[in-house]
Amino acid sequence: MSHPHPDLDLPAPLAPGGVRVIPLGGLGEVGRNMTVLEHEGQLLVIDCGVLFPDDHHPGIDLILPDFSAIEDRLDDVQAIVLTHGHEDHIGAVPYLLRRKPDIPVVGSQLTLALIEAKLKEHRITPYTLGVAEGGRERLGVFDCEFVAVNHSIPDALAVFVRTPGGTILHTGDFKMDQLPLDGRLTDLRAFARLGEEGVDLFLTDSTNAEVPGFTTPEREIAPAIDKVFRHAQRRIIVACFSSHVHRVQQVLDAADKAGRKVAMIGRSMVRNMGIAADLGYLKVPDGVLVDLKQLNDLPDDKVVLVCTGSQGEPMAALSRMANRDHRIEVGEGDTVLLASSLIPGNENAVYRVINGLMRLGANVVHKGNAKVHVSGHASAGELLYCYNIVKPRNVMPVHGEWRHLVANADLAVATGVPRRNVVVVEDGVVVDLVDGRARVAGAVECGYVYVDGSSVGEADETLLKDRRILRDEGFISVVVVVDSMTGKVVAGPEITARGFVEDDVVFDEIRPRIEQALDEATAQGVTDSHQLQQVVRRTIGPSVGRKIRRRPMIIPTVIEA
């Protein structure tokens, strides 16, 4: 665990009548979204998502929010309110419910269906409460009203929280597509009405705050997808998020128009699209969807595969195809369509997959060379509209890296929100809304919690540092046998190295130095094997550094005989 701001103390007890905002994820990063509201001793959790690891986190499966700030107060949590069904907003719910399974989970129909399927895999049966736009629910002291917003997944909601200490409007992820595929507009009339009532604190999506103008409507990419389908000579492989219902809908429609059959690949893709189809959010044209096994009976120019892996995830279907580690073999003339934008930090992994596919002869179409994806987040022009409609008293940008948060804050100031009322903070920094003014109140512990195989929270930065060293610098093992009575070296040093291109002869001149250093140490009365191991490490480390210009992990073993 880590403290985000050593200059900030733990927050003092919340002032009577105040509302506390505790961001435990999503600020300073894209993912792991989780915000906790506190009022009159009660807590409300808004979203509880995961962050996907990058190259800096070798071996890690997922990164969770740090629940330690509320660990001892789970009985005070009135509900978990989910704004929409993306993994970076719902993926950590099972890990929170493991601690207290009876916390109510509140969300829209599709969002709850997705989280219930996920919880079933964790053998958790949740207590859920379905809500829809225009609805209001009292969750303890929190009076929540839900507002329709459009995003890259159906059924997304903003939440307006009324408390005696002030009102908070949390947009969730949203944009203002005026021609949405499902006809469900972001409810600007509701935003205006809430603005008239008074929004004391506005928590706004910052992901596209640096992007000028307006986000392109989803409908505008349909011609580009149709063009790909018209010109593809063999199979078409489409990679997108397993929850991107709108994009899969466009692929199904294009396939139907082109006379192709579609098969889904990947457990999460099959599960999520099955849920969306059952609930009516995904309209599957008759006869278009087939089982993967049926593709062998179809000619290549009648086949479309929809899979995961658009972010270069190493275990996803597309990455495995690029590495020739999948039953679907990509070859000359195949077309691969990456129907997603790059999440910051994933660029290298995605380009590695693109290069691998092109090396196999595939034609790769992506956002960089065709208009085949649009963002699900509001650009600067849309955010300006929202600020002018809502006219908030205080603003706290959420969901984004630091550059996104700052850009969003500047937009708020440009529309007339006083700079002193715009609070830009990172995960763990607590903000109190007292007497209509939002101020930083302190900071709580808020580190990364790693899911590493079956362990949760046991991996730490020390372990990851060791893995990075093993991956980047190599490994040296030194075994020495010493006489337990005299301390003299009787066997070894045996040196084994992995991860170097140099021959073992580079260690020939180091062995005598190790023997000499051990003799000097024992002559000075050093007999403890742990201390002797440190002598070996200090002797070999600088020599290896000079010889091979590496700083490998060194594991010395001293055996007394």
Q: What is the CATH number of the domain that holds 506?
A: 3.10.20.580
Average pLDDT over residues 197-206: 96
| Number of domain units in the chain | 3
* Statement to judge: residues 401 and 387 lie in one domain: yes
Residue 487 pLDDT: 59
Work out the mean pLDDT of the chain and round it to a whole number.
85
Residues 74 and 182 in one domain: yes
What is the pLDDT at residue 479? 80
Residues 168-176, mean pLDDT to the nearest whole number: 95
The pLDDT of residue 463: 66
pLDDT band at 241, cuts 50/70/90? confident
Which CATH number is 270's domain given?
3.40.50.10710
Domain assignment present for 9: no
Task: Answer yes or no: do 41 and 148 share one domain.
Answer: yes
Asked if 164 and 29 sit in the same domain, the reply is yes
Per-residue pLDDT at 378 exceeds 50: yes
Q: What is the DSSP letter of 379?
A: B
pLDDT confidence bin for 485, thresholds 50/70/90:
low
319: Cα within 13 Å, side-chain hemisphere: 15
Is residue 425 domain-shared with residue 515, that is, in the same domain?
A: no
Burial of 161 (0-12, 13-18, 19+ CB in 10 A): buried
Domain, as residue range, for 529: 473-560
Better-predicted residue by pLDDT, 58 or 351: 351
535 and 398 within one domain: no
Do 59 and 202 fall within a single domain? yes
3-state secondary structure of 329: coil
| Residues 241 and 325 occupy one common structural domain | yes
State the sign of the Cα–Cα–Cα–Cα dihedral 200, 206, 210, 215. negative
Specify the pLDDT at position 468.
66
Looking at per-residue pLDDT, the higher value among 473 and 444 belongs to: 444
Do 415 and 306 lie in one domain? The reply is: no
pLDDT band at residue 100 using 50, 70 and 90 as cut-offs: very high
DSSP letter, residue 476: E
User: Is the CB of residue 333 less than 8 Å from the CB of residue 296?
Assistant: no
pLDDT at 3: 42
> In this predicted model, what pLDDT tens digit does every residue of 308-349 receive, in sequence order?
876 766 667 788 888 888 888 888 888 888 877 666 666 777
Shared domain for 332 and 361, answered yes or no, is yes
Task: Express as a percent the part of the chain with pLDDT over 70.
Answer: 84
Distance of CA 119 to the CA centre of its chain: 18
The model's pTM is 0.82
| Average pLDDT of the residues in 443-463 | 73
Nearest Cα residue to 106 out of 143, 140, 133, 81: 81
Q: Where does the pLDDT of residue 517 fall: very low under 50, low under 70, confident under 90, or very high at 90 and above?
A: confident
Residue 92 sits in the same domain as residue 190: yes
Instruction: Supply the DSSP symbol for 343.
Output: P
Specify whether 207 is located in the same domain as 249: no
CATH number of the structural domain spanning residue 441: 3.60.15.10
